[in-house]
């Protein structure tokens, strides 16, 4: 998950399904899914953070609209963000710092929270475990997702190695800045690689946008 700054609300009244509204939401999310962070413009949907079946007054609420891919939307339980099932909101919670994601050598993914234990922390980790590890769902889409994450992180780690091997570093630093930008895929994984290493954090934390 990654932090999202929503742009100003479109002129009212509007419907969440209006073409300009849909595109604006996708742009705010850098055409990424808010859960898996895959960049899949053709398979993105504009959905409701608080489900419309339970919160009919929020159906066309600008602050309730999120960008989610079709796969994650199918996996996401229908009761998410109902009473007792609330998860972190990327538009209002500091998910970039609160939720830690790490890819293991066997391609399983460790997901944890960094602040005090709360129902919202537990629910968010549970949801992301469904997305990344297939826990609690029959969907196997997590297997392809893991491969995409592994490929992106391999390229990222190679860029870091190249940075330290050359004398003129400006070009490579720009490459790393692109990798760490919220516009790129799987930003959360890459930023936690940086945060977890004292040397890398001192060198590259300033590149976080």
Count of CA atoms in the C-beta half-sphere (13 A) of 148? 15
pTM above 0.85, yes or no: yes
**Angstrom distance (rounded) from CA 116 to CA 44:** 32
pLDDT at 42: 85
3-state percent helix, strand, coil for the chain, nearest multiple of 5: 45, 10, 40
**Angstrom distance (rounded) from CA 109 to CA 115:** 19
Residue spans of the domains in the chain: they are 146-207
pLDDT at 115: 86
Q: What is the mean pLDDT of each run of 10 residues along the chain (209 residues)?
A: 94 90 95 95 92 93 95 94 93 94 96 92 96 95 96 96 84 91 96 95 91
Those residues with Cβ within 8 angstroms of residue 6's Cβ, 6 or more apart along the chain or in another chain: 28, 62, 63, 91
């Amino acid at each position: 998950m990654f932090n999202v700054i929503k742009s100003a609300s479109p002129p009212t009244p509007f419907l969440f399904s209006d073409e300009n509204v849909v595109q604006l939401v996708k742009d705010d999310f850098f055409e990424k899914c808010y859960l898996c962070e895959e960049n899949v413009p053709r398979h993105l949907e504009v959905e409701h953070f608080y489900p419309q079946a339970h919160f009919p007054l929020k159906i066309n609420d600008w602050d309730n609209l999120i960008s989610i891919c079709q796969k994650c939307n199918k996996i996401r339980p229908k009761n998410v963000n109902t009473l007792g099932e609330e998860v972190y909101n990327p538009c209002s919670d500091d998910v970039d710092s609160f939720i830690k994601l790490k890819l293991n050598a066997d391609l399983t993914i460790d997901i944890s929270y960094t602040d005090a234990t709360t129902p919202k922390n537990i629910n968010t980790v549970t949801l992301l475990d469904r997305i990344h590890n297939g826990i609690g769902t029959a969907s196997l889409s997590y297997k392809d997702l893991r491969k995409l994450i592994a490929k992106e992180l391999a390229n990222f780690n190679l860029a870091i190695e190249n940075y330290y091997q050359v004398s003129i570093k400006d070009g490579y630093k720009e490459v790393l800045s692109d990798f760490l930008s919220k516009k790129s895929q799987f930003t959360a994984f890459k930023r936690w690689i940086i945060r977890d290493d004292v040397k890398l954090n001192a060198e590259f934390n300033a590149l976080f946008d």
